[in-house]
A and B are shown apart, each in its own frame.
Chain A
Amino acid sequence: MPRKNTIVLLIILALFAFAISALVYPLWGREAMRLGLDLQGGIHMVYLADFSDIEPGKETEAIDGAVAVIERRINILGVTEPVIQKQGADRILVELPGISETERAKRLIGQTALLEFRELVISEGDEEEWIPATATVNGQEKELNSSYFKENTYVTTGDFGEVLLLFEWNSEGSQLSGEITGRLIGEPLGIFLSGEPLLGDDGEPIAPIVRSRITDRGQIEGLSLNEATELSELLNAGRIPLPLTPIYDQTVSPILGADFIEMSIKAGIIGIILVMLFMIAYYRLSGVLACLALLFYGTLVLALFKLIPVTLTLAGLGGFILSIGMAVDANVLIFERMKEEIRTGRTLGAGIEAGFNRAWTAIRDSNVTTIIVCIILIWVGNTVVGGATVMGFAVTLLIGVLASMFTAIVVTRTLLRLFVGTRLSRKTSLFSVSVGKSDV
């Protein structure tokens, strides 16, 4: 037995060393813990697509197009690990972890980015009104807008330092533009972005007077450099082919996330220390061994989080901290059992073996219920929009419960066996069995 125990001990120590190095150094390409949205800040949005203007049968094509356009727009922002996914038939999930310019990001994703050109007419009530400028091309009346732009717009400064957004018409746009500008020489041409007048740097709507017939290319003057650049990038990224409405929005600032991590670490450390003090006070030397097992447990679980990798959320850290409290449960079960066995007159060695063997069914049976609940919660986290918190809690608790069974059964037992046959083992009071003083 002792020889086998030494081998197990060596394996445990090797595993411990591996877990520590996995936490400290990058391994298998995992540089750091993967943090959830609530811990590193960012955006989690779900958009619902409106197919009412889409030809039947073309829905999938349209929504796939929208996903592609959103991807290109997100690239403008330079987010490191964005998630842009179609969910079901009519939803798009957008996750931008770690982003701080949340409002800008939402503006970039949300808008259709359609520039329309409108002409001014006098309506019946003698009021001026902008209506879409149209012309007939190939027998069809069409509105002039940025869907006829080539995707090569760019921003430059003119001779007097003014900011210019330059664009080129494609062939159909060229015909349309030629017709319309030819008709509107001397008249203003209003520019509208997503249905609203495009405002210049001076806050006034941009509506240049048409000076000559425009067929190939044009320019928009009056925007600030930043606005012009953003608009140009949006136009080049393409137009989202159908309206998207946000149906779920979760936005967290990165600063808040940093606070949460600090608070969770504090809670975790204080929780562990208190549990350890309790265990040592109550179970003495066995308690010290349980604390060693707990340290091993914590390191192993954190290493698993990093290697699997588990996306850590605040609730997930909560689940981990909760699992620390529950991890000692298996130890408590075993120690209580050992106490009883030793009290009936067994030696320490016999007490340990009997304690572990008899406690095993209770450990197994009682943990199964928590495992059932965790699996159900993982399903909930997967099904529900915004279920990341539930998922985080369930996954960390599940890993915690499984690892705690392993550490209690293997690690604590191996450590306890080290004392069998030594002089210490005769002092059973060290293992919290006080002769004469009975709890029962």
Chain B
Amino acid sequence: MFDIIGKRFQFFLISGIVILIGIISLLTVGLKPGIEFSSGSLLTVDFEQDVEQSQLKQELADLGYPNVIIQHTGAGDFLIRTPELSSDAKAQLEEGLEARFGSLTEPEFSSVSPMIATETVRTAFIAVAVAAVGILLYVTWAFRRMPRPFHYGTCAIIALIHDAAVALGVFSILGGILNWQVNLMFITGILAVIGYSVNNTVVIFDRIRENLRMDMSVNFEVVVNNSLVETLGRSINTSLTTLIVVLALLFFVGVSIQNLVAVLIIGIIAGTFSSVCIAPSLLVVWDRGEWGRFVRWLPIAAVKARK
């Protein structure tokens, strides 16, 4: 018999460390906003001959674009992020590159003005806020017949914030290494992860509700752990089937929706972990009034971790 709840503080520690690393990366490397959020132009360029990224960067600087972000996506294929290009400037840029590196094709081009970018940022913020509130209300409502519905709602939301934080942090690290930028697909991925994460948590909470209804006298911690173990097969299998298809997407579809796919992969893993190890543990912590103990325990754990 697995004792997941008994190891709750170890799980909190693991999550804490991952999120801490993510926060450090967010504060130092940060997230690079894509053109949808900060305006600019994005060109996909395929050179017929093989071109070195450093050569391309140099040539672009010579053409008057010193601060471009370049992402190498295949042999001779690049994503180039520049400030907003007018059609004349774009034509000049292409001519310059062709003169230096030979013929090229440009399968994709997008350009976003600051006005549109501002609107998109605002919409994205509203969407994330509405999603969080909507899910909190829903979870509270779904557990309205439980003794403490607010506890369940709050724990589900903490698990959700946990998953979003992990996804943001890991993405920031990936972005730093691979020059990935945050675009609308990233936000879509984060929201999908939020929905997915709560989905898992709700299934486990649902089992707790059912088991509690059968016998209210049993120790809460035992009921929670039993419910977890009973649903463990489902939690893992569902995550596996979802991961399988997302990995298929990653390997076959590639760059164009890489943000969405990367966020989904991180989110599915984090979401499964948080649904199984974090959210139910928090319920127990809350039920037993361990918050104080938890807070006192944190510095000790931090010291241990440092050693």
Contact = CB atoms under 8 A, between A and B. Distances in A.
Whether chains A and B associate is yes
Interface of A: 38, 46, 48, 106, 110, 245-253, 255-256, 260, 263-264, 266-268, 270-272, 274-275, 278-279, 282, 314-315, 317-318, 321-322, 324-326, 328-329, 332-333, 336, 339-340, 358, 361-362, 365-370, 372-374, 376-377, 379-380, 383-387, 389-390, 393-394, 397, 439-440
A250 B253 contact: no
Given A322-B264, A440-B230, 8 more contacts: A253-B107, A317-B253, A336-B233, A340-B230, A369-B138, A373-B131, A380-B187, A384-B36
Contacts of B1: 440
Contacts of A340: 230
Contacts of A38: 256
Given A315-B257, A376-B131, A368 B138 contact: yes
B234 A369 contact: no
B250 to A, nearest CB: 8
A257 to B, nearest CB: 9
A321 B257 CA distance: 13
Interface in B213-270: 229-231, 233-234, 237-238, 240-246, 248-249, 251-254, 256-257, 260-261, 264
A264 B253 CA distance: 6
Contacts of B119: 383-385
B282 interface: no
Contacts of A264: 252-253
Contact of A365 (B195, B202, B233, B241): B202
Contacts of A268: 248
Contacts of B44: 256
Contact of B203 (A246, A270, A362, A389): A362
Contacts of B131: 372-373, 376
B174 interface: no
A-B pairs, top 4 by smallest CB distance, nearest first, are A373-B195, A267-B252, A271-B248, A325-B242
A386 B127 contact: no
Given A318-B261, A389-B185, A376 B253 contact: no
Contacts of B240: 278
27 contacts: A246-B111, A248-B113, A260-B253, A267-B251, A275-B241, A275-B244, A278-B241, A282-B237, A314-B256, A314-B257, A318-B261, A325-B246, A326-B241, A326-B242, A336-B233, A339-B233, A340-B230, A362-B202, A365-B142, A369-B202, A374-B195, A380-B184, A384-B36, A384-B184, A389-B184, A393-B185, A393-B260
A252 B188 CA distance: 21
B6 interface: no
Interface in B1-42: 1, 36, 41
Q: Which of A267, A282, A333 has the most CB of B within 10 A?
A: A267
A252 B234 contact: no
A393 B237 CA distance: 24
Give the secondary structure class of A's interface.
helix
Contacts of B207: 362
B206 interface: yes
B116 A366 contact: no
A251 B246 contact: no
B229 A385 contact: no
A390 B260 CA distance: 10
Given A263-B253, A271-B248, A325 B241 contact: yes
B278 interface: no
A333 B234 contact: yes
A270 B257 contact: no
Contacts of B184: 380, 384, 386-387, 389-390
A384 B245 contact: no
B87 interface: yes
Contacts of B71: none
Nearest to B1: A440
B231 A380 contact: no
B233 to A, nearest CB: 5
